Amino acid sequence: MRKHIVEADVVITTALIPGKPAPKLVTEDMVQEMHDGSVIVDLATATGGNCELSKDNETVVAHGVIIVGDSNLPGSVPQHASEMYAKNVLNVVEHFHDKEGNRKVDFEDEITAGSVVTCDGQIRIPELAGSPDPTPAPAPAPAPEGGNA
């Protein structure tokens, strides 16, 4: 990946791991090798950033490279972000259906295997299998009229 990063004019990073710091994908020495005026847009700065030199919600210049650290870029373009989100949701829905619109769940497919949490009443992610049941207990039946319980 180093070769592609140092030769790029623009690098956009978005890698996040839920509950953990963002992985460092662009090191300072990679930035030093980039051309002056190149740009890195780091969208993971809220959790530490994918570039070692990123700062959350700041634009910095390091070794002649402009590094934009924006943890809420979608919020600055809400219409476009909403359109992109809608397109992504549509793609997911289409992925789980065949051309006739019938449900298609193929666990040999890596997207399906990695994203389906439950199917047909079964928990598919082993880490969640021991989790407490989130279904609330039913409310007790009301006492009969007249106070004789």
Q: What percent of the chain has pLDDT above 70?
A: 85
Res 30: pLDDT: 98
- CATH 3.40.50.720 in the chain is located at 2-73
Q: How far is 31 from 42, CA to CA, in rounded Å? A: 13
Q: Give the model confidence (pLDDT) of 29-83 as tens digits.
A: 999 999 999 999 999 999 999 999 999 999 999 999 999 999 888 888 899 989 9
Give the mean model confidence (pLDDT) for residues 101-125: 87
Query: What is the rounded distance in angstroms from the CA atom of residue 41 to the CA atom of residue 73?
Result: 10
The helix/strand/coil state of 75 is helix
pLDDT of residue 146: 60
**pTM of the entire predicted model:** 0.59
- Give CATH superfamily name and number for 2-73: NAD(P)-binding Rossmann-like Domain (3.40.50.720)
- Backbone torsion region of residue 30, taken as left when φ is above 0, otherwise alpha when ψ lies between -120 and 50, otherwise beta: alpha
- Compute the mean pLDDT over every residue in the chain, rounded to the nearest whole number: 88
Phi, psi of 15 (to 5 degrees): -70, 125
pLDDT greater than 90 at residue 132: no
> Residue 28's pLDDT is what?
98
What's the burial of 25, exposed, middle or buried (CB within 10 Å: 0-12/13-18/19+)?
A: buried
For the segment 87-101, the average pLDDT, to the nearest whole number, is 92
